[in-house]
């Protein structure tokens, strides 16, 4: 463990860094550091003409990469100036863990960012920070998330003012490094079945934290193996009875438990720590296992926002039931999913950039007696990569919307917004991370042998990103939450109650979508019709409405026969498809909205092209469903397939510009085959020599 | 570089090893070593009651894992006795490279296998060897493939008797370690465009090997970075004109080029060697780059089976044209694809075993007030993993057939068999490796957090296997070869000529498949009909026949407008789908055949269940196509979907037995969550502590 460097040294380093990247400009370095950075307006004060961000004049760049330049640029510049802090291609787990910790310290101590302040005051900037550090290394993004979103977030969101007073600043400046100890060896998704106990001892005014069996060991806990000094431990709150009645289990609550000495860094008495070892990826994060042997903590360490215990052992809560308290506790963790969805789009942007630039560069085969052609000129390569590019844009706008809704939720605390953000964040996290995971493999394959060189990053991106599908809620479980919410909304609709914003289309148009399809429309196959956003949205909404209605009917029928648990299981594939269909609909709506609000003519035409490709490719991928309901006639299905191929060809012509707009600078992207500034003539250098 | 250990030591080690795993049994150790192993019959002489292979009494095990026990068992036993030679979970590239070399030496020097002899005399056993060493570590499988299949195989298949006399024994015993230097920096798939030259110098009776530019650098060459002493170099054979005419380019030929000194192991003069560095996977194989600066080799080093140059510089060949010589040269490399397809199925078996065993073990959620249920009891988990299990069996029988056809080809040298094996090996390699690659990700996801522990092997299996999709022919390119062959067969059919065996169904029934579908059959949706192999095969053949006919028509039309190159490109997606559809048809045929020939009642019913699941899941996955042609009516489509879910449920009941039949012993499988012998109560040990 390194101790924080001295203040003097910190300031000196900051000034060095800033003078390097600001050069002779008249911008005040102080406007870029400390809280000035975090809380400044949208516009960065870095010079417009800076060659690294020279796409600023491009309207697409401004829309896509421009929004959070004030957060991104100081971080990216810092790592350009400190190549010794950038991850080498090959390293052992232990080296990686130390480097990641150094990187995080640099962000806080040297660049002077205040992530916990951002998280609580300006979450959109916090998520932008997550994306930027993810471009440096995904382990850094997760290490930051563990310290601030999980450890810090649990303290400030599940605790009360006394906890904020005591912990906030220490967490912010990395003096208190912490863990989020929820998952156990035997229980990940089923949080309500956690077995660790926190028994109140009135005599000493303490809770006793205990691991009753091997299966209750806290497992996969980030920051636990090496760096953590505290943990937010999720445990069943047990109140011993005063009389002859048994103990009372109040359900899962969160407690702050010190795990290592702040002085010696040794594990504290009763705390057994093991190392979860080498993982498929994210080896910069030190996951560990924790067992508690009757560890005593003060009563004040209960994070008591949703439930408290008095000195006399009396339980109180602003919420009436155990289930509501449980939902409120987990509900506060929704920010993690927003961050993962946004971070996953960042990974997809990087991978798409590398794969598409290389596919433009690489030439193989060609017409007889003519030069070889770029592999992106092949229809198969276009249809692998360009719908992916369209999806990247689609996800960018959808997660942007999610972040806005999250910010709104934190401000208003409106119940309807909360419900909406919960389902939307679960659905987008699941959908986007699953899509990105598949895309990373497709990108590697599309780049052939050179895609297999570690230096070109597909391997580490895939390995690191893989677990995004599992942590903060397994995707299969999250999609079921979306379906459950849709079914609740469906019921509300019949009861004439208000729907949450994101599902509004169901109220407006469910009837329309489920009436007989119009045979004329079913056969229309002209390009104008197929590229009409009304047709596209209708098709998406029709599918969701139909899946929802049939799911509700099947569930009702099967529940009578088999009970609700088994009925749900018998409809599980159906329910997962429903959730995906709904999320795709939301994504399309937000994309169409982004096209409409774009006021630059060229940028708008590019976005429209991508949006059409996104919509029609999705319809084509699920053409069986549309044909099965005769929503599209065979001639129309064929026309959609041909138009997708044609739109891919159109996108190919502007593909370079479209990936440039993601604005990931070469020194952060690093993959030699994917750099913007290299030429084909330098190819052997490009592939790593 | 270690030098071979002394003969005495070798024999001593062998005896130690064998006495350890044979114990007091009366089997002669010598029957298991040296050529006795390689050339013995199907039955291993290891004791029947051995606990490691205790599934011998199971008919499924005998069908699936039993065929090549005589090859598998000595290798697996050896590594059980030598844990120091088994790969640790985390290691650096350089350590991994040395370990892989030691493992290969152990196989040859200590177990006494003779891979090159197997390859040339009993290829089925060679492929079994590849699968077995792949279970130890895929780098070892590839290192073995580089030394024997690529380096050894090129010498014995492209050379003549003089080459076999000079090199065979030295390659066999690892005294001459070699590379296969085909791919160049700028040319992988397009082998005909390679730029390295081999210019004949009549004065000295030598060829001069030269790399004319950076792009012609030999790239990704296995064994080149560290261990290789020779390389089979593919280069354009240039004959200088005797008069004023320019040089004559005779096209690509193969040459044996020494690259390192046999004494000092230093690179030889004019040979520049670089290290291709860290890769996504397979870091036990030392890939390097080679540049040749006018390196001289004797004329005899031309591998002259298909083309020779006399002392006077006169070219001769048994084959009339450059294209035929090129095809014959590449054709000899088909064995590599057979090995990759079989090896890929081995990887799929291991991954499916781990994922399914863990899914039976892991419990999460359950009905109210009842115990939690296995995650394999969830419909979603069943539909992710069990069609994969069915496919694994399907691929097992299909690659087994491919190996038999390959053996037949090597014996008969019949033109029709050669053409058949070429297309079939290209198609199966592409299809199986793509499927396995996707499945490895699905398995990791299905095992959640514990699937992310490196010790559970999904990460390394995925990273190592990934490149199977690219090397020995990029999958996209190989599938096009299948389509090209199908189109050739289609043309033949119209000309009334004989078709190769695998495509026979096209001749027999093309007309039937393309006539109007029978509306009664279209609506039949009873289980008996859907599980009738005739319906299933008809559906697969219909799709292929239809895709083939429409591809031929589209190509003819588009060629007139755009020329053949562009027409092919405009149909590329169509052609890839056609190839996949054909390969799926072949796989189904072979699976049905395996069901029919199984004479054990229980085993037969299991196989029939898996075969139905394979067939109906594939039909459901492509239901859009079937609906588009009204080959199945909506009611039938729905019935297929429900039956797939039901069959998954049925397979779940026997899933344990089905993965046990793959016969991968625990000490080789290694993944703690996937072991056969562990119990749920030992779970914390199971996950790696």
Q: CA–CA separation, B666 vs A689, rounded Å?
A: 42
Assess whether pLDDT exceeds 50 at residue A49.
no
Q: CA–CA separation, B22 vs B47, rounded Å?
A: 8
Assess whether pLDDT exceeds 60 at residue A286.
yes
Secondary structure string (H, E, C) spanning A96-164: HHHHHHHHHHHHHHHCCCCHHHHHHHCHHHHHHHHHHHHHHCHHHHHHHHHHHHHHHHHHHHHCCHHHH
Q: CA–CA separation, B418 vs B409, rounded Å?
A: 6
CA atoms in the 13 A half-sphere facing the CB of B156: 23
Of A345, A373, A432, A462, residue with least CA distance to A652: A373
φ and ψ of B249, to 5 deg: -90, 110
pLDDT at B329: 87
Task: Name the more confident of B290 and A12.
Answer: B290
pLDDT (mean) for A235-260? 92
A402-416, A618-632, B130-144, B482-496: which has the minimum mean pLDDT? B482-496
- Under an 8 A CB cutoff, do A471 and B455 touch? no
- Under an 8 A CB cutoff, do B459 and A566 touch? no
- The CATH number of the structural domain formed by A180-325 is 2.40.110.10
A45-59, A449-463, A477-491, A583-597: which has the minimum mean pLDDT? A45-59
pLDDT (mean) for B240-268? 92
**In Å, how far are A177, A688, B193 from B277, measured between CA atoms?**
36, 9, 26
Task: Look over chain B and give the mean of its residue pLDDT values, rounded to a whole number.
Answer: 89
Query: DSSP readout, A446-507?
Result: HTHHHHTBGGG-HHHHHHHHGGGGTTTS-HHHHHHHHHHHHHHHHHHHHTTPPPPGGGHHHH
From chain B, pick out residues whose CB is under 8 angstroms from the CB of A547: none
pLDDT at A181: 98
Q: How far is A172 from chain B (nearest CA, A)?
A: 28
Tens-place pLDDT, residues B273-326: 999 999 999 999 999 999 999 999 999 999 999 999 999 999 999 999 988 898
Considering only the beta carbons, identify the residue of A365, A380, A687 that sits closest to B573: A380
> Cα B616–B617–B618 angle (5° rounding)?
90
From chain B, pick out residues whose CB is under 8 angstroms from the CB of A190: 364-365, 372
- Under an 8 A CB cutoff, do A624 and B637 touch? yes
Q: CA–CA separation, A392 vs A496, rounded Å?
A: 37
Considering only the beta carbons, identify the residue of A458, A637, A688 that sits closest to B628: A637
- Under an 8 A CB cutoff, do B683 and A185 touch? yes
Confidence of residue A330 (pLDDT cuts 50, 70, 90): confident
How big is the A-B interface in CB pairs under 8 Å? 216
Q: How far is A554 from chain B (nearest CA, A)?
A: 13
Which is it for the CA torsion A680, A683, A685, A687, positive or negative?
positive
Q: CA–CA separation, A168 vs A39, rounded Å?
A: 18
Q: Considering the candidates A472, A580, A584, A589, report the single residue annotated as catalytic.
A: A472
- Under an 8 A CB cutoff, do A467 and B452 touch? yes
**SS3 of A393, please?**
helix
Task: Look over chain A and give the mean of its residue pLDDT values, rounded to a whole number.
Answer: 89
pLDDT at A241: 83
pLDDT (mean) for A669-675? 92
A656-660, B63-67, B236-240, B634-638: which has the minimum mean pLDDT? B63-67
φ and ψ of A269, to 5 deg: -55, 135
Helical axes B458-466 vs B334-361, angle rounded to 10°: 160
Q: CA–CA separation, B439 vs B433, rounded Å?
A: 10
Task: Name the more confident of A26 and B169.
Answer: B169
Considering only the beta carbons, identify the residue of A193, A217, A363 that sits closest to B684: A217
pLDDT at A679: 53
**Do B544 and B585 meet the contact criterion of CB atoms below 8 Å apart?**
yes
A77-81, A344-348, B113-117, B204-208: which has the minimum mean pLDDT? A77-81
Tens-place pLDDT, residues A51-72: 444 555 688 988 888 888 889 9
What are the b/e assignments for A650-672, b being 16+ CB within 10 Å? Answer: bbbeebeebbbbbbbbebbbbbb
Task: Name the more confident of B65 and B567.
Answer: B567
φ and ψ of B372, to 5 deg: -65, 155
B472 is catalytic: yes
- Under an 8 A CB cutoff, do B281 and A474 touch? no
Assess whether pLDDT exceeds 60 at residue B652.
yes
Are domains A180-325 and A334-667 of this chain identical in fold?
no
**Do B81 and B20 meet the contact criterion of CB atoms below 8 Å apart?**
yes
Q: How many CB atoms lie within 10 A of CB A173?
A: 14
Of A396, A401, A473, A480, residue with least CA distance to A432: A396
pLDDT (mean) for A387-410? 96
Residue B650, class by beta-carbon neighbours within 10 Å (0-12 exposed, 13-18 middle, 19+ buried)?
A: middle
- Under an 8 A CB cutoff, do A189 and B364 touch? yes
Q: CA–CA separation, B209 vs B196, rounded Å?
A: 7
Task: Name the more confident of A25 and B340.
Answer: B340
Considering only the beta carbons, identify the residue of B281, B381, B449 that sits closest to A470: B449
pLDDT at B173: 98
Long-range CB contact pairs, B568-573, < 8 A, 24+ = B569/A377, B569/A378, B569/A379, B570/A379, B571/A379, B572/A378, B572/A379, B572/A380, B572/B480, B573/A379, B573/A380, B573/A383, B573/A645
Question: Chain A interface, mutation test: which of B684, B685, B688, most A Cβ atoms within 10 Å?
Answer: B684
Assess whether pLDDT exceeds 70 at residue B511.
no
What is the pairing mode between strands A271-275 and A288-292? antiparallel
Superfamily grouping for domain B334-667? Butyryl-CoA Dehydrogenase, subunit A, domain 3 (1.20.140.10)
pLDDT at B416: 86
Nearest CA in chain B to A192: B365
pTM of the predicted protein model: 0.92
> Cα A629–B527–B436 angle (5° rounding)?
75
Q: Under 8 Å CB-to-CB from A539, ≥6 apart: which residues?
A: A615, A619, A626, A631, A632
From chain A, pick out residues whose CB is under 8 angstroms from the CB of B89: 277-278
- Under an 8 A CB cutoff, do B628 and A634 touch? yes
Q: How far is B413 from chain A (nearest CA, A)?
A: 31
Q: Under 8 Å CB-to-CB from A73, ≥6 apart: which residues?
A: A44, A46, A53
Task: Name the more confident of B15 and B384.
Answer: B384
Q: CA–CA separation, B433 vs B437, rounded Å?
A: 6
pLDDT (mean) for A228-235? 98
pLDDT at B15: 37
- Under an 8 A CB cutoff, do A573 and B380 touch? yes
Confidence of residue B492 (pLDDT cuts 50, 70, 90): confident
Q: Is A183 annotated as a binding residue?
A: yes
Which is it for the CA torsion B643, B648, B653, B656, positive or negative?
positive
B417-421, B476-480, B652-656: which has the minimum mean pLDDT? B417-421
pLDDT at B241: 83
Q: How far is A518 from chain B (nearest CA, A)?
A: 18
Laid out side by side, the sheet with A218-221 consists of A218-221, A288-292, A271-275
Tens-place pLDDT, residues B327-364: 888 888 899 999 999 999 999 999 999 999 999 999 99
Tens-place pLDDT, residues A123-156: 999 999 999 999 999 999 999 999 999 999 999 9
Nearest CA in chain B to A451: B280
From chain A, pick out residues whose CB is under 8 angstroms from the CB of B380: 476, 572-573, 576
Q: CA–CA separation, A508 vs B211, rounded Å?
A: 69
pLDDT at B148: 97
Of B501, B503, B496, B502, residue with least CA distance to B548: B503
From chain B, pick out residues whose CB is under 8 angstroms from the CB of A566: 367
From chain A, pick out residues whose CB is under 8 angstroms from the CB of B687: 185, 219
Of A266, A108, A259, residue with least CA distance to A178: A259
- Under an 8 A CB cutoff, do B565 and A367 touch? yes
Q: CA–CA separation, B584 vs B581, rounded Å?
A: 5
What are the b/e assignments for B529-552, b being 16+ CB within 10 Å? Answer: ebbebebbbbbbbbbbbbbbbebb
Tens-place pLDDT, residues A504-525: 676 666 666 666 677 788 899 9
Q: Considering the candidates B472, B580, B584, B589, report the single residue annotated as catalytic.
A: B472
Q: How far is A112 from chain B (nearest CA, A)?
A: 34
Q: How far is B572 from chain A (nearest CA, A)?
A: 6
Considering only the beta carbons, identify the residue of A92, A366, A466 that sits closest to B90: A92
**Do A164 and A155 meet the contact criterion of CB atoms below 8 Å apart?**
yes
Radius of gyration of chain B (CA): 26
Assess whether pLDDT exceeds 60 at residue B689.
no
Q: CA–CA separation, B356 vs B651, rounded Å?
A: 11
- Under an 8 A CB cutoff, do A449 and B563 touch? no
Assess whether pLDDT exceeds 50 at residue A14.
no
Q: CA–CA separation, B86 vs B190, rounded Å?
A: 38
Q: CA–CA separation, A104 vs A70, rounded Å?
A: 18
Nearest CA in chain A to B277: A453
Residue B161, class by beta-carbon neighbours within 10 Å (0-12 exposed, 13-18 middle, 19+ buried)?
A: exposed
Radius of gyration of chain A (CA): 26
Of B352, B378, B374, residue with least CA distance to B363: B374
Tens-place pLDDT, residues A538-589: 999 999 999 999 999 999 999 999 999 999 999 999 999 999 999 999 999 9
pLDDT at A70: 87
What are the b/e assignments for A203-239, b being 16+ CB within 10 Å? Answer: eeebbbbbbeebbbbbbbbbbbbbbbbbbbbbbbbbb
Confidence of residue A414 (pLDDT cuts 50, 70, 90): confident
Residue A311, class by beta-carbon neighbours within 10 Å (0-12 exposed, 13-18 middle, 19+ buried)?
A: exposed
Assess whether pLDDT exceeds 50 at residue A466.
yes
Of B396, B407, B436, B205, residue with least CA distance to B301: B205
Outline where DSSP puts E strands in A265-336. 271-275, 288-292, 295-298, 308-309, 315-316
- The CATH number of the structural domain formed by B178-322 is 2.40.110.10
A257-261, A399-403, B498-502, B518-522: which has the minimum mean pLDDT? B498-502
Instruction: State chain B's maximal CA–CA distance in angstroms.
Output: 95
Q: How far is B211 from chain A (nearest CA, A)?
A: 14
pLDDT at B499: 66
Question: Chain B interface, mutation test: which of A463, A617, A635, most B Cβ atoms within 10 Å?
Answer: A463
Q: CA–CA separation, A111 vs A77, rounded Å?
A: 10
The domain locations on chain A are: 7-171, 180-325, 334-667
Residues facing residue A257 across a β-bridge:
A231
- Alpha carbon B637 to its chain centroid, in Å, reads 34
Q: CA–CA separation, A280 vs A220, rounded Å?
A: 13
- Under an 8 A CB cutoff, do A190 and B563 touch? no
Of B680, B357, B366, B671, residue with least CA distance to A186: B680
Assess whether pLDDT exceeds 60 at residue B36.
no
């Amino acid at each position: 463990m390194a101790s924080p460097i001295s203040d003097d040294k910190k300031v000196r380093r900051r000034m060095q860094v800033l003078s390097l990247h600001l050069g002779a400009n008249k911008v005040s370095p102080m406007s870029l550091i400390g809280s000035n950075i975090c809380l400044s307006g949208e516009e960065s004060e870095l010079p417009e003409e800076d060659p690294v961000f020279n796409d600023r004049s491009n309207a697409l760049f401004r829309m896509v990469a421009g929004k959070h330049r004030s957060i991104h640029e100081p971080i990216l510049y810092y790592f350009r100036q400190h190549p010794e802090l950038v991850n080498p291609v090959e390293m052992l787990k232990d080296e990686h863990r130390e480097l990641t910790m150094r990187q995080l310290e640099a962000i806080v101590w040297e660049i002077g960012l205040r992530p916990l302040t951002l998280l609580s005051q300006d979450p959109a900037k916090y998520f932008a920070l997550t994306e930027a550090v993810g471009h440096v290394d995904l382990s850094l993004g997760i290490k930051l998330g563990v310290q601030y979103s999980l450890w810090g977030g649990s303290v400030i969101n599940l605790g009360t003012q006394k906890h904020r007073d005591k912990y906030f600043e220490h967490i912010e400046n990395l003096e208190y490094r912490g863990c989020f100890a929820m998952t156990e060896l035997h229980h990940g998704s089923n949080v309500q079945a956690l077995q660790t106990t926190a028994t109140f001892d009135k005599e000493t005014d303490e809770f006793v934290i205990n691991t009753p069996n091997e299966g209750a060991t806290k497992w996969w806990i980030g920051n636990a193996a090496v760096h953590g000094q505290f943990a937010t431990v999720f445990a069943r709150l047990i109140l011993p009875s005063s009389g002859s009645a048994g103990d009372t289990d109040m359900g899962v609550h969160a407690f702050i438990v010190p795990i290592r000495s702040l002085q010696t860094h040794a594990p504290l008495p009763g705390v057994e720590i093991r190392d979860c070892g080498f993982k498929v990826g994210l080896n910069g994060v030190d996951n560990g296992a924790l067992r508690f042997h009757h560890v005593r903590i003060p009563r004040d360490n209960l994070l008591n926002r949703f439930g408290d215990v008095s000195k006399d052992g009396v339980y109180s809560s602003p919420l009436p039931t155990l289930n509501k308290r449980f939902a409120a506790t987990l509900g506060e963790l929704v920010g993690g999913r927003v961050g993962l969805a946004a971070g996953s789009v960042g990974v997809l942007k990087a991978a798409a950039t590398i794969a598409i630039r290389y596919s433009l560069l690489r030439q193989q085969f060609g017409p007889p007696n003519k030069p070889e052609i770029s592999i992106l000129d092949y229809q198969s390569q276009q249809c692998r990569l360009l719908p992916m590019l369209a999806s990247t844009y689609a996800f960018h706008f959808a997660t942007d919307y999610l972040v806005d809704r999250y910010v709104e939720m934190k401000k208003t605390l409106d119940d309807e917004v909360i419900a909406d953000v919960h389902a939307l964040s679960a659905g987008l996290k699941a959908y986007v991370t699953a899509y990105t995971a598949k895309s990373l493999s497709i990108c590697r394959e599309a780049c052939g042998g050179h895609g297999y060189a570690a230096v070109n990053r597909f391997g580490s991106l895939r390995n690191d990103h893989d677990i995004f599908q599992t942590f903060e809620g397994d995707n299969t479980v999250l999609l079921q939450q979306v379906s459950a919410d849709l079914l609740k909304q469906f019921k509300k609709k019949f009861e004439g109650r208000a729907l949450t914003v994101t599902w509004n289309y169901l109220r407006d148009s469910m009837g329309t979508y489920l009436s007989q399809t119009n045979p004329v429309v079913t056969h229309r196959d002209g390009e104008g019709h197929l590229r009409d956003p009304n047709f596209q949205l209708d098709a998406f909404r029709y599918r969701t409405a139909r899946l929802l209605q049939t799911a509700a009917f099947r569930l009702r029928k099967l529940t009578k026969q088999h009970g609700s648990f088994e009925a749900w299981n018998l409809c599980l594939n159906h329910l997962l498809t429903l959730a995906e269909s709904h999320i795709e609909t939301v994504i399309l709506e937000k994309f169409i909205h982004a096209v409409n609000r774009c006021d630059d003519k060229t940028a708008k035409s590019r976005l429209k092209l991508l949006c059409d490709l996104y919509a029609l490719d999705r319809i084509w991928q699920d053409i069986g469903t549309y044909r099965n309901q005769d929503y599209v006639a065979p001639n129309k299905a064929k026309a959609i397939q041909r138009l997708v191929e044609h739109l891919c060809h159109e996108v190919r012509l502007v593909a370079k510009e479209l990936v440039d707009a993601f604005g990931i600078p070469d020194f952060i992207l690093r993959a030699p085959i994917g750099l913007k500034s290299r030429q084909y003539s330098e190819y052997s250098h490009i592939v790593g020599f």
